[in-house]
Amino acid sequence: MRRRERAEIALIAACWVSVVAAVMLFLGSGRPAQLTDLAGAVTAAGIVTGLVGTDLLLLMLVLAARVPWVDRTFGQDAAMRVHRRLGKPAVYLVLGHGALLTVGYSLRDGLSLWHQTLSLYSGADMLLALLGSCLLVLIVVTSLVIVRRRLAYEAWHAIHLISYAAVLVAVPHQLSAGQVLSGSTPQTFYWISLYVVAFGSIAWFRFAAPLLATQEHELRVARVDPLGPDVFTIHLRGRDLSRLGVRGGQYAIWRFWSRGTWWHAHPISFSAVPTDTDARLTVRTLGTGTERLRRLRPGTKVSFAGPYGMFTDAARTAPRLAIVSAGIGITPVRALLEDSGLRPGEATVVLRATERSKTFLWDEATTLVQNSGGDVVEMIGRRPAEVVSWMSADAIARGATISSVLPDLLDSDLFVCGPAEWTDLVVRDARAEGLPDRRIHVERFDAVGPRVPRRSRSLRRR
């Protein structure tokens, strides 16, 4: 089982512990002992579903807050996968909370469901709670693949920011109608602490810390250099950048303050380890948002959050280093090589592209490896139509395998960076050779990379 998969399981387990704690605190509050009829049982079930749903929503906020400890320990990708997995159950529980309470109160008061609903939602606090539920439903609907594909990223992101408001507007009804946040019980302490951690993490790590770092380092665009038809490098100038502690292979969330770009945040890897005054990003055009970055003017102010990511030399456990990179995946790989302090002959790197025009940054990566006596394999050409493989058709025709291009694979940590489907094929071959999952480190670029290839051009070892 790969380390990130174990991290995801650990995060899920932590979420379950939190849910169990919320339920046990309710059971220990003495209220369940007051249940004497069906109405009370249904009402209690409604309270429990509300507690669990709210607990999951607050945990989702913590996971999305980009807390450095979570990133270093579990990886932000694992945290966001768990965040997404919790979304639908949380919303279903919140909706169930409202439905069960309505039924329970209806049984208790002898009113029809319609009249009970009107009575229940007559107050301002309960209307705010209903608004919060509707906002959560909107967020779930826009997360559906068929809907998300039709939304601009900016619109989707703006809608998901509403999740903060959706949780907050439910607080007044918990103060007026519920007993969870009132008094001075262990249950009250637990929930207040969870609210403080969730919204405190969002406030600090998503807003305050990036703002302070942006002001401290005063980053601005120095120049933009084209590397190819759809690839370019953004050079940044700032101060005290070494204090950021960037490791080669990490990324940050960037916002460029010019007309047409200020409203779009971009996750972009460092293509070189920053010096005290300079940083470098290499970008591939994927749409209108990234295309506008090509036209950034010198002096444009830059804000950022980060650095993030576990695709670094710190993850290594084996004596040798193996790297397989494709497309824009060369960006974090080039920075990783620079930061690794390679020993003589330690590294073997496979650089993969569909054609020679897409070999950006290859010369820099090759120089870094060869200066340490390492080996670089250039594999250029399209994949075969008849074989599901990450290699070129020409390489397969010559009998190449992952163990032949990476002869020290089983004594290495393997770092793979490229399109998601292509990356999965590399990982598949490495596992088949017997490489332990704990030594496989992956960075995926889901929207980047070559299409399914048809022809091959060359396999060349340098």
Give the per-residue pLDDT at 447.
38
Same domain assignment for residues 268 and 349: no
Same domain assignment for residues 172 and 30: yes
Q: Is the dihedral of CA 99, 101, 102, 107 positive or negative?
A: positive
Average pLDDT over residues 292-309: 92
Same domain assignment for residues 181 and 282: no
Kind of pairing between the strands at 266-272 and 220-226: unpaired
The per-residue DSSP string of 345-366 comes to T-EEEEEEESSGGG-TTHHHHH
Count of residues making up the chain: 462
The kind and range of the H/E element at 225 are strand 220-226
Buried b (16+ CB within 10 A) or exposed e, 249-272: bbbbbbbbebeebeebbbebbbbb
Same domain assignment for residues 94 and 187: yes
The answer to whether residue 282 scores a pLDDT higher than 90 is yes
DSSP 310: S
Average pLDDT over residues 316-333: 91
Task: Tell me how far apart the alpha carbons of residues 142 and 196 are, in angstroms, rounded to a whole number.
Answer: 28
For the chain, give the percent of residues with pLDDT over 70. Answer: 80
408: domain CATH number is 3.40.50.80
Give the per-residue pLDDT at 263.
81
128 CB contacts (<8 Å, ≥6 apart)?
169, 170, 172, 173
Task: Tell me how far apart the alpha carbons of residues 374 and 408 are, in angstroms, rounded to a whole number.
Answer: 12
Same domain assignment for residues 364 and 252: no
Q: Which of 55-64, 125-134, 208-217 has the lowest mean pLDDT?
A: 125-134
Give the per-residue pLDDT at 455.
28
26 or 170, higher pLDDT: 26
Same domain assignment for residues 232 and 191: no
38 or 219, higher pLDDT: 219
pLDDT band at 155 (very low <50, low <70, confident <90, very high): low
User: Which of the listed ranges 108-112, 129-133, 203-207 does the model predict with the highest average pLDDT?
Assistant: 203-207
424 or 159, higher pLDDT: 424
Structural domain boundaries, residue 282: 218-308
Same domain assignment for residues 207 and 228: no
Tokens 């779930």 sit on residue? 140
Q: Domain boundary at 308, 331, 363, which?
A: 308
The answer to whether residue 461 scores a pLDDT higher than 50 is no
For the chain, give the percent of residues with pLDDT over 90. Answer: 34
Q: Domain boundary at 211, 226, 259, which?
A: 211
pLDDT in tens, 386-395: 888 999 998 9
Structure tokens at 238: 């700032």
Give the per-residue pLDDT at 169.
67
Contact 459/400 with Cβ under 8 angstroms? yes
Same domain assignment for residues 226 and 333: no
Average pLDDT over residues 133-146: 64
Give the per-residue pLDDT at 160.
64
Give the per-residue pLDDT at 454.
29
Same domain assignment for residues 160 and 70: yes
| 3 state DSSP class of 213 | helix
Q: What is the tally of structural domains in the chain?
A: 3
152 CB contacts (<8 Å, ≥6 apart)?
none
Average pLDDT over residues 21-46: 77
Same domain assignment for residues 158 and 229: no
Same domain assignment for residues 319 and 342: yes
Same domain assignment for residues 176 and 249: no
Give the per-residue pLDDT at 362.
92
Kind of pairing between the strands at 251-256 and 266-272: antiparallel
Helices (H) and strands (E) in the chain, counts: 17, 12
Task: Tell me how far apart the alpha carbons of residues 341 and 331 are, in angstroms, rounded to a whole number.
Answer: 18
Task: Tell me how far apart the alpha carbons of residues 120 and 33 are, in angstroms, rounded to a whole number.
Answer: 24
Q: Domain boundary at 160, 180, 211, which?
A: 211
pLDDT band at 148 (very low <50, low <70, confident <90, very high): low
The answer to whether residue 144 scores a pLDDT higher than 70 is no
Task: Tell me how far apart the alpha carbons of residues 132 and 174 are, in angstroms, rounded to a whole number.
Answer: 13
How crowded is residue 309: how many other Cβ atoms within 10 Å of its Cβ? 23
Average pLDDT over residues 275-292: 88
Q: Which of 72-81, 127-136, 230-239 has the lowest mean pLDDT?
A: 127-136
15: left (phi over 0), alpha (psi -120 to 50) or beta: alpha
- The candidate with the shortest Cα–Cα distance to 422, out of 455, 396, 444, 397, is 444
Q: Which of 17-21, 102-106, 116-120, 458-462 has the lowest mean pLDDT?
A: 458-462
Give the per-residue pLDDT at 451.
28
Per DSSP, helices labelled H in 280-432 are 288-293, 330-339, 362-370, 393-397, 402-405, 420-432
Average pLDDT, the chain: 82
How crowded is residue 140: how many other Cβ atoms within 10 Å of its Cβ? 16
pTM, two decimal places: 0.77
The answer to whether residue 216 scores a pLDDT higher than 80 is yes
Contact 243/183 with Cβ under 8 angstroms? no
